[in-house]
Amino acid sequence: MNRDIEKNYDPKTLEDKWYKIWEERKAFSPDKKKDKVFSIIMPPPNVTGILHMGHALNTTCQDVLVRHKRMSGYNTLWIPGTDHAGIATQAKVEKKIFKEEKKTKHDLGREDFLKRIWEWKEEHGDEIVKQLKKLGASCDWDYETFTMDEGPNKAVRKVFTKLYNEGLIYKDKRIINWDTVLQSAISDAEVEYKEVKGKFYHIHYQVEGSDEVLEVATTRPETLFGDTAVAVNPKDPRFKKLIGKNAIIPICERVVPIVGDSYVDMELGTGCLKVTPAHDFNDFEIGKRHDLEVINILHPDGKLNQHAKAVEGLSAQAARKKTIEILKEKEILVDVKEHKHQVGHGERSDSVIEPMVSTQWFLNVQDMAKKSLQSVKKEKMNFVPKQWENTFFGWMKEPRDWCLSRQLWWGHRIPVYTCKTCEYEFSFESEPSECPKCQSRTLIQDPDVLDTWFSSGLWPLSTLGWPVQEEMDKKGFDTYFPNTMLITAFDIIFFWVARMSMMNIKLMNTVPFKDVYIHGLVRDKQGRKMSKSLGNGINPLDLIEQYGCDAMRFTLANGCGFNRGFNLDPKLIESSRNFMNKIWNAFRFISPFLRRKVGNYKISTRDIDIPTKWILTELNSTAHLMNKHLEAYRFDEAASTIYSFVYDKFCSWYLELSKPVLYSDDQAIVKKRAEILRFLFEELLKLLHPISPFITEEIWSYFYEDRLIINQDYPVLRQEYQFDHEHEKMAHFIELVTQIRNLRASVGLKPKEQIELEFFTDDKKTAEFIHENRHYLESLAQVKKGTIHNKDAKRPQKSTMATTSLVETFLPLEGLIDIAEEVARLNKQIDKVKSELEKVNKKIQNKNFMDRAPEEVVLEVRTKAKDFQTKLDALEANLSSLE
């Protein structure tokens, strides 16, 4: 090695360096010569976004798979991009402008305001991109797409126009969720229901021309100004006779019909329902059935309008208070009851959603949803883990038409135009210059923009250049669409996965991806969701700063199985950092024996010892398992597999066993071992690379100057490295050494103090093996001398012993052992073996078991019984020799 290596692993110096090199060498570009294809799109983060643990987990999962596939010979493409995030971005820039210039968007006007957002985007939009790079994401930045780029805009216009012309997109005046802070419609999916403590107000409504009163119960008394009926159940004997008569709404003194509608629950409340079609979803439906008047009582900002004269200009809350006061004065508020109920809040603004009647654009999704549902059922699209398809089904089974329009400025503007001259309305794929009907040039475009998820729904298409043929050819549309898979979190299954699948099936007649892997949420140490309000968020960049990206990625992968997420304790990352340090130092240890190379590296499996055959076999099973787990999206299993190989197999045993070899005087032996160590190290770096790319690339660079690890072939199981027989022998040897160490510890020997042992075995091969490897016993357990006897030989007195099924090991320590302690230790072991033996014997005595269990299970149990018996006999013999 011709470079000095720092004693401690310091990730800071190497992570940025390698990312730059990968980018410069185009290491993330797909290799189009390869036959097998792996393509995946990144869920586009908001341009306004700041990296959080969710991104870190999502990106890690994707990058692990992408790197694995790339190394496994796939034509691998990972497309990154960012989302314009209509509401979030507009609100952010709006706030900034107001803070700095005290101007609202209306002061600036639509055009200038949009210009300002674009300026903001140019200036800050790559912040999130820089952060993704910090995570090591090996996506092809040449494909980077922004949802408001020209390409996606073409896609949006084309699709909108197609759906419009098919009559699936329509304009309708109906009740929608209105966010009074954003002053825009929002979709059903954007409404969060929260439990709120409220009150039931019981109010008397007079029946017209009679002394009778109807008692209605409501949680929102201020809506009475919009009441246009009172409804009762037509079967209700109490009120049946009133149907067809009129009631008088208090305060505004409006006369409204009393209607019978089976929606009304006789048991609930008073059995009498005030009907406010303009501000309640169910009332709207009742209104339609009975042809009721719809009176909107709210301004867009949520304040009461002229239809609520008595409380005009007040916020809903203030209006409620005042309404109650008036009702009290009039003595028609007859009861107030505590009541807990679910109230819709805007996901973005967190303000109370006011259902409101308004004219909006809708997409009829009934048929699209049905087809999408069938695709999942037919397993054309697989959710992993499978139970997530229930969440998907939940949405698809009863879809409500999608409210597409938003009263915002930032977004894809709805491409619908109305001719001022002839009033013809049409949708157009590009900017129209004249009315197709009357050729008038005075066209007015719809002022609204589309829901952000409309363009997100087209993401698998638009990122590959669709619908422009030239772009599609350039980007390899035919090769990469549909994508191999998608990785996302469960909270956007409705928003995004559902929309993408509907859109893509509709447009391309195929699902957009084969697999959808859903990972969980990263929560804090105590299992709480990370949130701004709790202040418990962990910034991934801080973790990277403190422990390094590799350690963080390793921890995330390690926690990411088929679960609902995991609780992230920074301590876990510390442990991963220690693992990286372990690798670093293992490399530091072997590096003086190695030379830097150019060209392929091979080892010979001729004349290698048992430990080497053992570690090669371990390497094999590690390679096999890594591939298996990564194929199955078991990031957790993959991480612990490589961890165990590096730590428990390579460092703890093979390196230790290699020390006496490397310190040998015979240079040929040293060289041979060094080559094997190098080979093993290269392989383990490759195996780990997808999870922890930086440290592996760094160490790799000490091995080779002409190539990067990112492009190497991922290890697979190789028959020539499989030595099952030697593997078993070595496993027994490890058991033996551990027992000897245990013996030493149990009598309190100092680590350096050398011992003499006596072994008793009737197994000739074991005897030979112990003899051949006696120098290892010395280096690993300070055994300076050992004598091997047949089992019929006399056991030494006053000694401590341990036993495996093949060999008894005695440590004679006349006078040094505490007899009482030793007896206790032996008794404990005897008890344990006895109970195991009993269990096994019970099975053997059970005739049903012997008759019905499969042969190999019976055989296994018999072997166990024999082994336990041998151990027990030896332990008991030793015990009696002490007493």
Partner RNA sequence: GGGCCCUUAGCUCAGUUGGUUAGAGCGCUACCUUGACAUGGUAGAGGUCAGAGAUUCGAAUUCUCUAGGGCCCACCA
Footprint (CB under 7 A) of RNA, residues 808-867: 832, 836, 843, 846, 848-849, 852-854, 857, 860, 864
- Which is closer to RNA, CB of 200 or CB of 428? 200
Residue 186, SS3 per DSSP = strand
- Which is closer to RNA, CB of 12 or CB of 474? 12
Contact flag: residue 593 with RNA (CB under 7 A): no
Q: Name the one range near RNA by CB under 7 A: 101-109, 145-153, 190-198, 407-415.
A: 190-198
Contact flag: residue 8 with RNA (CB under 7 A): yes
Q: What is the rounded distance in angstroms from the CA atom of residue 630 to the CA atom of residue 714?
A: 12
Q: Which of 16, 149, 192, 515 binds RNA (CB under 7 A)?
A: 192
Q: What is the rounded distance in angstroms from the CA atom of residue 683 to the CA atom of residue 615?
A: 12
Contact flag: residue 332 with RNA (CB under 7 A): no
The answer to whether the beta carbons of residues 422 and 127 sit under 8 Å apart is: no
Phi then psi for residue 747, to 5 deg, are -105, 10
Q: What is the rounded distance in angstroms from the CA atom of residue 820 to the CA atom of residue 286?
A: 87
Pairing of strands 416-419, 443-445: antiparallel
Instruction: Please enumerate in sequence order all residues whose Cβ is within 8 A of that of 689, keeping only pairs 6 or more positions apart, or say none.
Output: 67, 71, 696, 697, 709, 710, 712
- Which is closer to RNA, CB of 577 or CB of 613? 577
Residue 610, SS3 per DSSP = helix
Contact flag: residue 178 with RNA (CB under 7 A): no
Q: Which of 131, 218, 501, 641 binds RNA (CB under 7 A)?
A: 218
What mask of x and - would describe binding to RNA in positions 662 to 691, judged by CB under 7 A? -x----------------------------
Q: What is the rounded distance in angstroms from the CA atom of residue 324 to the CA atom of residue 599?
A: 86
Would you tell me how many other CB atoms lie within 10 Å of the CB of residue 792? 7
Cα atoms in the 13 Å half-sphere on the side-chain side of 590: 32
The answer to whether the beta carbons of residues 22 and 63 sit under 8 Å apart is: no
- Which is closer to RNA, CB of 359 or CB of 846? 846
Contact flag: residue 572 with RNA (CB under 7 A): yes
Beta carbon of residue 734, minimum distance to RNA (angstroms, whole number): 8
What mask of x and - would describe binding to RNA in positions 467 to 506, judged by CB under 7 A? ------------------------x--x------------
- Which is closer to RNA, CB of 268 or CB of 877? 268
Phi then psi for residue 589, to 5 deg, are -70, -45
The answer to whether the beta carbons of residues 598 and 705 sit under 8 Å apart is: yes
Binding residues for RNA restricted to 268-287, rule: CB under 7 A: 268-274, 280-282
Q: Which of 402, 417, 513, 562 binds RNA (CB under 7 A)?
A: 562
Contact flag: residue 265 with RNA (CB under 7 A): yes
Beta carbon of residue 800, minimum distance to RNA (angstroms, whole number): 12
Beta carbon of residue 338, minimum distance to RNA (angstroms, whole number): 12
Q: Is 801 exposed, middle or buried (0-12, 13-18, 19+ CB in 10 A)?
A: buried
Pairing of strands 799-803, 808-812: antiparallel
Q: What is the rounded distance in angstroms from the CA atom of residue 787 to the CA atom of residue 799?
A: 15
Instruction: Please enumerate in sequence order all residues whose Cβ is within 8 A of that of 553, keeping only pairs 6 or more positions apart, or say none.
Output: 56, 60, 63, 64, 135, 136, 691, 692, 693
- The pair of structure tokens assigned to 150 is 């020209």
Q: Which of 26, 110, 288, 341 binds RNA (CB under 7 A)?
A: 341
What mask of x and - would describe binding to RNA in positions 512 to 551, judged by CB under 7 A? -------------x-x-x----------------------
- Which is closer to RNA, CB of 8 or CB of 433? 8
- Which is closer to RNA, CB of 577 or CB of 689? 577
Size of the site for RNA (CB under 7 A): 94
Q: Name the one range near RNA by CB under 7 A: 60-68, 338-346, 372-380, 697-705.
A: 338-346
Q: What is the rounded distance in angstroms from the CA atom of residue 667 to the CA atom of residue 661?
A: 10
- Which is closer to RNA, CB of 41 or CB of 56? 56
Q: Name the one range near RNA by CB under 7 A: 153-161, 447-455, 471-479, 745-753.
A: 745-753
Q: Which of 382, 418, 539, 567 binds RNA (CB under 7 A)?
A: 567
Binding residues for RNA restricted to 617-636, rule: CB under 7 A: 632, 636
Instruction: Please enumerate in sequence order all residues whose Cβ is within 8 A of that of 628, keeping only pairs 6 or more positions apart, or say none.
Output: none
Q: Name the one range near RNA by CB under 7 A: 96-104, 125-133, 237-245, 581-589.
A: 581-589
Q: Which of 752, 814, 815, 845 binds RNA (CB under 7 A)?
A: 752
Beta carbon of residue 577, minimum distance to RNA (angstroms, whole number): 5
- The pair of structure tokens assigned to 132 is 């993704």
What long-range pairs does 656-659 form, CB within 8 A, spacing at least 24? 656/779, 656/780, 657/611, 657/776, 657/779, 657/780, 658/611, 659/779
- Which is closer to RNA, CB of 220 or CB of 320? 220
Binding residues for RNA restricted to 291-330, rule: CB under 7 A: none
DSSP strands (E only) in 490-614 = 513-519, 521-523, 565-567
The answer to whether the beta carbons of residues 751 and 762 sit under 8 Å apart is: no
The 8-class DSSP code of residue 291 comes to T
Q: Which of 60, 360, 581, 612 binds RNA (CB under 7 A)?
A: 581
The answer to whether the beta carbons of residues 297 and 308 sit under 8 Å apart is: yes
Is residue 755 within a helix (H) or strand (E), and if so which, with residue range? Answer: strand 755-760
- Which is closer to RNA, CB of 129 or CB of 755? 755
Q: Which of 171, 290, 588, 774 binds RNA (CB under 7 A)?
A: 588
Q: Which of 205, 225, 481, 566 binds RNA (CB under 7 A)?
A: 566
Contact flag: residue 391 with RNA (CB under 7 A): yes
Contact flag: residue 264 with RNA (CB under 7 A): yes
Instruction: Please enumerate in sequence order all residues whose Cβ is within 8 A of that of 621, keeping only pairs 6 or more positions apart, or say none.
Output: 717
Q: Which of 170, 426, 589, 702 binds RNA (CB under 7 A)?
A: 589
Beta carbon of residue 5, minimum distance to RNA (angstroms, whole number): 9
Binding residues for RNA restricted to 193-212, rule: CB under 7 A: 193
- Which is closer to RNA, CB of 117 or CB of 275? 275
Beta carbon of residue 768, minimum distance to RNA (angstroms, whole number): 23
- Which is closer to RNA, CB of 7 or CB of 115? 7
Tell me which residue of 457, 635, 487, 640 sits closest to 563, measured CA to CA: 635
Contact flag: residue 74 with RNA (CB under 7 A): no
Beta carbon of residue 65, minimum distance to RNA (angstroms, whole number): 17
Beta carbon of residue 375, minimum distance to RNA (angstroms, whole number): 20
Beta carbon of residue 742, minimum distance to RNA (angstroms, whole number): 4
Binding residues for RNA restricted to 219-248, rule: CB under 7 A: 219-220
Contact flag: residue 615 with RNA (CB under 7 A): no
Peptide bond into 796 cis (omega under 30): no
- Which is closer to RNA, CB of 265 or CB of 473? 265
The answer to whether the beta carbons of residues 137 and 27 sit under 8 Å apart is: no
What mask of x and - would describe binding to RNA in positions 39 to 58, judged by CB under 7 A? --------------------
Binding residues for RNA restricted to 637-656, rule: CB under 7 A: 637, 640, 643, 647, 651-652, 655-656
First vs last C-alpha separation in the chain: 60
Amino acid at 112: D
Beta carbon of residue 335, minimum distance to RNA (angstroms, whole number): 13
Q: Spell out the SS3 assignment of 432-449.
A: CCCCCCCCCCCEEECCCE
Q: What is the rounded distance in angstroms from the CA atom of residue 245 to the CA atom of residue 256?
A: 9
- Which is closer to RNA, CB of 732 or CB of 791? 732
